[in-house]
Amino acid sequence: MLKELVKEEFTQDIAKGAVLVDFYSSTCSPCKMLAFILKDIEKTLGDQVTIIKVNFEENPDLIEEHKVEGYPTLVMFKDGEELSRKSGLQQKPVIIKMIEEAL
Amino acid sequence: MTATMVKEKIGYQFQEHLIEKQAKAEYAMLNEFAKGEFTMENPLIKYNPYIVNDLAAVILFRTEEETAITVRVKGKTKEGDFYHTFPRAKEHVLPIVGLYSDYENKIEVYPYQQSDKKVVHTIKTPEVAGAKLVESMDTTPEFMQDNVIFLCPAVNDFAIAVDYAGDVRLNYTVPMVWDIKRNPNGNLLLGSQRLMKMPYFVSGIYEMSPVGKIYKEYRVPHGYHHDQITLPNGDIVALNCDLDNGTVEDKAVVIDKDTGHVKRTITFSNFIKPGSQKSGSWSDEDWFHCNAVWYDEHSNSLTFSGRHINAMVNIDFDTEELNWIISDPEGWPEEYQQYMFKPVGDGDFEWQYEQHANLITPLGDVMCFDNHHFGAQNPDNYLAANDSYSRGVKYRIDTEKMEIEQLWQYGKERGKEFFSPYICNVLYYNEGHYLTHSGGIAFDGEGNASEELGPFAQLDDPNVKLNSITVETINDKKMLELKVNSNYYRANKFTLYAKDGNNLSLGKGQLLGSLGETPQMDYDIPAEDTGEMLPAKHEAHITDEVDMFTFESKFEKGQLVMLLLESDQETRRYFISTSKGKRGAMCTGTFLPDDDRDTRTIVTKEGLHGEYQVKLIIDGMKYDTGITIRA
């Protein structure tokens, strides 16, 4: 499942299962490319993983809380714990590997 | 006519490999020599025949008998002379190195032990770019003798070599970068000028002679950076990147000395977990930032300098198991504490931070250039640039007791004047005799040590002053200090004529190994085919080479751009980032563009077969370039 952040639900969303959070900016070209790749991954993995997109500029509190330093940044959570993170545009196999480590 | 109506192909040029250019130039030189009656008195003199060193030449002539020939490149003073005697031959093709810039250089040539028969030839040189960079050289001719200090580029000033008097005696005209080492055969090993991936990963390592002749390019898959070392069997350990994992500067390859092929890959995440330690310049992508590799025959081990983990990491060469880590233990996970050392000694001990250029001395001591950038593991204790210092340091380690003692340092006492937050090296000559090169000094227009690394500081502030200070000490007595007005990655000292080497071998150089296949973007973004040529406003240009091509173009920040290679059989896709990104490490800014809209995308020809049309997708619109790439 791929969805845009609903702030009130974020803590609850990442608390259970494998959740990949994409901190992105709408003005960043690698973020735009990554959006296509994440949609493709959603098609491949279906409900095995939840992908949440967090707009970097609109959510400074979450950026600070999760110590995100730039965009795009992918943070992989499992049951609320951060398992791994990658900065910059990543290829599909790298992202799949991140997710598989959390499944 | 609007820009989108322009139906012209984009710019294109085929750039021959330097080896190819040199082979043609050498062939022409030898052809001219073969057709003429050239004697010692009336030789053929070719200035800069190998294109890359404009303070060099070749003198060619014949003698009736096999004769050894002595050459004296006359210095501006007697102490500035360079001599070399070449082996017996009837045909003499003599490399002349160590010329001065903008000078009528006098070259004496005579049969060995017959100086009364000398003839003097004159080579007038133009003013060369590097000649104005030296601010001062403080040493004695007795100490330097006929050595030069060779400096490798870190910004837009290319390699130079400086003699005892501060005169530049070698000036490379192409940006060959990274570490310089001299092989036992007298040849130099230096990174190539062929950029393979921004910001500074280059195609490989040149084996070349000071006159400029390239004998081999050892191509390194996915780009070479920072450092290499030759193993006892002649193979080379070179640093590259773990692209499969989306990270950089965290891998090394062992390259066969004859074929250039990769015999083995060493992946650093197998012995250090990414994120175990984070220096002030750390990033997810550049988590290790390996800037040096050293092989120690006595312990059969490799030592890697990880700038972004504030550590020198030693592993067994065969098993790749961790032996030890030299690093401030604060903040390291428990599992690594067993590999850490406990400081002992008289209290002068300090750990190194964001260090460079580790080496192991013949006695087993460990040296490095301690940049001391940030100066702490804990961010709360980071030092500001104005309060910082850098130093050369030597540690003695006891791997049984896991104790470490600081034996020597040079540089702390000089404070920010000697502070380099990046690059630099140390060299060991003998016990007590060391070279310390602080090559990354930057001050802003107001005299403050720059918080930015030199290449960035230079781009952002026209008043910034870059310096490089190289010091040699013997038993703490300063024997040499060279100050140059630029940043230089590393320094080394040697004679331009190799005493035991060939100095110049004829014949075409070899292109060895492989560049690896450029990773494609594995997603096809939707686009509308405009049927039009790429608008001229993008100022696109392709530089084609034998084994790769470079696509350069301007885009606005945030545009979604993809380069396509279309053939009858397949379409290949390469993402072009239009984001302005700044790295925490920029160990050579030589390839940085002035305009941040400039993009540079390099695609190797490995995996390509036949002809490909080059096309571009910009924000969902597809354009042609009119260019065909052949592989």
Q: Is the pLDDT of residue B6 over 50?
A: no
- Distances in Å between the Cα of B132 and the Cα atoms of A103, B100, B158, B492 are 61, 12, 12, 20
Averaging pLDDT over each range in A83-92, B423-432, B451-460, which range is the top one?
Answer: B423-432
pLDDT above 90 covers what percent of chain B? 87
Tokens (6 digits) for B28: 């022409």
Q: Answer whether A86 sits within 8 Å of B519, measured CB to CB.
A: no
N- to C-terminal Cα separation, chain B: 35
Dist CA B153 CA B159 (whole Å)? 5
Q: Which of B246, B558, B562 sits opposite A28 (nearest CB)?
A: B558
Q: Answer whether A30 sits within 8 Å of B575, measured CB to CB.
A: yes
Q: Is the pLDDT of residue B507 over 80?
A: yes
Mean pLDDT over B158-165 rounds to 98
| Amino acid present at B300 | N
Question: Which structural domains are found in chain B, ordered by start?
Answer: 3-13+520-630 (2.60.40), 37-124 (2.60.40.3100), 129-513 (2.120.10.30)
Q: What is the pLDDT of residue B588?
A: 60
Q: Is the pLDDT of residue A88 over 60?
A: yes
Q: Which of A27, A87, A92 sits opposite B283 (nearest CB)?
A: A87
Confidence of residue B589 (pLDDT cuts 50, 70, 90): low
Q: Which of A69, A89, A92 sits opposite B575 (nearest CB)?
A: A89
Residues 6+ apart with CB under 8 A from B346: none
pLDDT tens, position by position, B252-280: 999 999 999 999 999 999 999 999 999 99
Instruction: Give the closest-approach CA distance of A12 to chain B in angstroms.
Output: 26
Mean pLDDT over B1-17 rounds to 72
Helix (H, G, I), strand (E, B) or coil at B127: coil
Which residue has better confidence, B156 or B318?
B318
Q: What is the pLDDT of residue B593?
A: 66
Q: What is the pLDDT of residue B580?
A: 65
Mean pLDDT over B458-479 rounds to 93
pLDDT above 70 covers what percent of chain B? 96
Residue A70 annotated as catalytic: no
Mean pLDDT over B565-586 rounds to 82
Q: What is the pLDDT of residue B229?
A: 97
Catalytic annotation, pick one of A14, A18, A20, A31: A31
Length of chain B counted residue by residue: 631
pLDDT tens, position by position, B116-131: 999 999 999 999 999 9
- Residues in chain B with CB shorter than 8 Å from the CB of A90 are 246
Q: Answer whether A88 sits within 8 Å of B559, measured CB to CB.
A: no
Task: Select the residue from A29, A71, A96 to test the B interface by mutation, using most B Cβ atoms within 10 A.
Answer: A29
pLDDT tens, position by position, A34-78: 999 999 999 999 889 999 999 988 999 999 999 888 889 999 999
Cβ-based neighbour number of residue B344 at 10 Å: 14
Find out whether B291 and B224 touch, Cβ atoms under 8 Å. no
Q: What is the pLDDT of residue B199?
A: 83
Q: What is the pLDDT of residue B511?
A: 97
Helix (H, G, I), strand (E, B) or coil at B234: coil
Dist CA B82 CA B56 (whole Å)? 13
- Run of H or E residues at A37: helix A29-45
Q: Is the pLDDT of residue B533 over 80?
A: yes
Tokens (6 digits) for B475: 């038993």
Number of domain units in chain A:
1
Q: What is the CATH number of the domain that holds A46?
A: 3.40.30.10
Residue of B nearest to A39 (CA): B523
- Run of H or E residues at B454: helix B454-460
Dist CA B427 CA B360 (whole Å)? 10
Q: Is the pLDDT of residue B4 over 50?
A: no
Tokens (6 digits) for B51: 């294109």
Dist CA A71 CA B626 (whole Å)? 34
- Residues in chain B with CB shorter than 8 Å from the CB of A43 are none
Contact A47/B at CB under 8 A = no
Q: Is the pLDDT of residue B372 over 80?
A: yes
Residue A28 annotated as catalytic: yes
Read out DSSP for B389-447? --EEEEEEEETTTTEEEEEEEESGGGGGGG--SS--EEEEEETTEEEEEEEEEEE-TTS
- ipTM summary value: 0.87
Task: State the burial class of residue B321 (Cβ atoms within 10 Å of its Cβ: 0-12, 13-18, 19+).
Answer: exposed
Find out whether B354 and B453 touch, Cβ atoms under 8 Å. no
Residue of A nearest to B273 (CA): A84
Q: Answer whether A29 sits within 8 Å of B283, measured CB to CB.
A: no
- Residues in chain B with CB shorter than 8 Å from the CB of A70 are 581
Task: Select the residue from A33, A44, A75, A76 to test the B interface by mutation, using most B Cβ atoms within 10 A.
Answer: A33
Instruction: Give the closest-approach CA distance of A43 to chain B in angstroms.
Output: 13
Confidence of residue B592 (pLDDT cuts 50, 70, 90): low
Mean pLDDT over B142-159 rounds to 96
- Run of H or E residues at A39: helix A29-45
Q: What is the pLDDT of residue B1?
A: 36
- Chain B interface residues facing chain A, Cβ-Cβ under 8 Å? 244-246, 283-285, 519, 521-523, 525, 557-562, 575-579, 581
Contact A8/B at CB under 8 A = no
Q: Can you give the residue range of the structural domain that contains A71?
A: 2-100
Q: Which residues pair with B232 in a beta bridge?
A: none
Q: Is the pLDDT of residue B322 over 90?
A: yes
Find out whether B397 and B391 touch, Cβ atoms under 8 Å. no
Task: Select the residue from B269, B579, B580, B582 to test the A interface by mutation, using most A Cβ atoms within 10 A.
Answer: B579
Q: What is the pLDDT of residue B590?
A: 64
Confidence of residue B197 (pLDDT cuts 50, 70, 90): confident
**Residue B428 φ/ψ, nearest 5 degrees:** -110, 130
Q: What is the pLDDT of residue B284?
A: 85
Dist CA B452 CA B385 (whole Å)? 9
Instruction: Give the closest-approach CA distance of B621 to chain A in angstroms.
Output: 15
Q: What is the pLDDT of residue B2?
A: 40
Dist CA B115 CA B126 (whole Å)? 29
- Distances in Å between the Cα of B295 and the Cα atoms of B28, B229, B613 are 42, 7, 45
Q: What is the pLDDT of residue B438?
A: 98
Find out whether B65 and B90 touch, Cβ atoms under 8 Å. yes
pLDDT tens, position by position, B214-239: 999 999 999 999 999 999 999 999 99
DSSP letter assigned to residue B302:
E
- Residues in chain A with CB shorter than 8 Å from the CB of B522 are 37, 91-93
Q: Which region among B64-73, B112-121, B573-582, B608-617 has the lowest average model confidence (pLDDT)?
A: B573-582
Dist CA B77 CA B106 (whole Å)? 12
pLDDT tens, position by position, B11-20: 999 999 999 9
Dist CA B299 CA B478 (whole Å)? 32
Q: What is the pLDDT of residue A26?
A: 87
Question: What mean pLDDT value characterizes chain B?
Answer: 94
